[in-house]
A and B are shown apart, each in its own frame.
Chain A
């Protein structure tokens, strides 16, 4: 099982690739709506990619109120 830091790192890599944003511009505590310039539907799109990558299922409500990569990583890590 990956460590929490590895999970976080993989999420940042996937988000950067998915939204075509330079990886070095993304930080763990960034507000991803702002850092990626996306709306809530686009973040749901990202969530689907993350589910495939980590082989987990996250209900939509798990993302409600989550706005930074670190918290998102925590939610995924809890289900690994």
Chain B
């Protein structure tokens, strides 16, 4: 891999990687069983440079911002490289947000350029607030013949001849603005520097290196911190290959493991559980004697891999299972949300190590990771090289808020000095997560101090962002909380959003109101829906400017209301 200590910016490291690993395959893109793209590092460079030159000619200057709204695909990475080559700042946006939310974040980030897929661009152009868009250049991929682009350009046609000028950036220059929460509340644009990413890449690859020949399956959205690092920067500076799938149907994901002999993949709990369900169903279909034999092999593997993984041995003992994953899988990397220990143990017992970690966008990618010496399903691992963690105000059990200090911690929140001051105190990032260290230096998490949930799909959901879906609900007042914020659980499981209702005087909760709540809830994507409601008998405490005092209300409900009084929707 490249020696990242020699670099001051991502653009320079990537540029050298494209030359150093010129003949290696860097990207494969498949749609169902059809392979659409296969690029060497040299091909990647040849595709990116004419785009970069066109960007420069269109006055995309160093320090300008460019957003990407795309599903995982080769053009995502090529566009990102072009942005860095010009000295620009990348704003990766979540493609699952609504068109209205995309417009809000484009405005908040002041993106001058937008790279976007056609179906997403079409939705943006149809949004009521589209006329207010200030983004000057829009490059659209996968445009059907004859489609109206509303002033945008086709990505494939936006190129110019001639070598572009490479713009060197310094370590403390901004590389990316990554949004860690929604839009209705307070957009949290994490401003991350080139140093943040270079340091993160160094610490991750120190424990889990990539090399030419490694194939990384990129399933988590590339706009997410994990995939951006482990599915782009990390593999590229090491000459490895990234595999993109245009459909994430479980059937095709399973096929991809085998077809591309995947080495590493990062997953969120929902996908890992789906794989577990599929495997368990297959095991259940086995004849009794085969099942008996399998169970014996699992037991032997478990015994022999107690201290550390022995992947070759496991592949011999449990060949059938490993062939189902392509036969070359070294580890499943998980993070971004709470993972059931039993699911991780299930895979480890089959000889497939699960590397669990913990991080947040504000901290780059990961703060801790399991080093598999030995495998632990009950922790999120140890601090990565260069990361200092401490537990603030620990209680009698040693549990307190996790604070982090590292060169990977973001510079600040975009245009929000107040929130930055609350979040980074004396150089320490206050994570809002509750944890403690065990005797072996592993971090264990026990819930959150902050009013938010993280779904099994790895999405951070802030209740304030959901409330607009209930605007005009015929009640006196309402408020949404993370249930574990109201009733702290000292665990990260069973996270749910709770709708607290204060009815009007003499108002009864009836089937009409329930239907209205249900219908509002259904306007939200499934992972953002409220899970239960609670009728509250007192007026909400409010500030002089009539804002709900959320923390005080949550404490009141937590003290006097019971969780079991909440009715599941």
Contact = CB atoms under 8 A, between A and B. Distances in A.
B96 interface: yes
A20 to B, nearest CB: 12
Given A59-B119, A61-B119, A64-B96, A44 B249 contact: yes
A67 B457 contact: no
Interface in A30-80: 31, 33, 39-42, 44-45, 47-48, 57, 59-61, 64-65, 67-68
Interface string B86-97: 000000000010
Interface stretch (B314-322, B335-343, B522-530, B542-550): B522-530
Contacts of B525: 64-65
A45 B251 contact: yes
A65 to B, nearest CB: 7
B249 A60 contact: yes
A45 B526 contact: no
Contact of B250 (A33, A45, A65): A45
Interface residues of B, number: 21
Interface in A4-41: 31, 33, 39-41
A45 B278 CA distance: 11
Contacts of B527: 40
B522 A31 contact: yes
Contacts of A45: 249-251
B247 A33 contact: no
A41 B522 contact: no
A44 B96 CA distance: 15
B247 A59 contact: yes
Interface residues of A, number: 18
Nearest to B519: A31
B119 A42 contact: no
Given A48-B249, A61-B119, A67-B522, A41 B96 contact: no
Contacts of A40: 270, 457, 526-527
Contacts of B456: 39
B418 to A, nearest CB: 34
A59 B243 CA distance: 18
B522 A44 contact: no
Nearest to A61: B119
Interface in B159-189: none
A42 B249 contact: no
B251 A48 contact: yes
Contact of B270 (A39, A65, A67): A39
Contacts of B270: 39-41
Interface of B: 32, 71, 96, 119-120, 246-252, 270-271, 274, 456-457, 522, 525-527
12 contacts: A33-B526, A39-B270, A39-B456, A44-B249, A47-B249, A48-B250, A48-B252, A59-B247, A61-B71, A64-B525, A67-B526, A68-B522
Which 3 A-B pairs have CB atoms at the shortest separation, nearest pair first? A44-B249, A33-B526, A41-B274
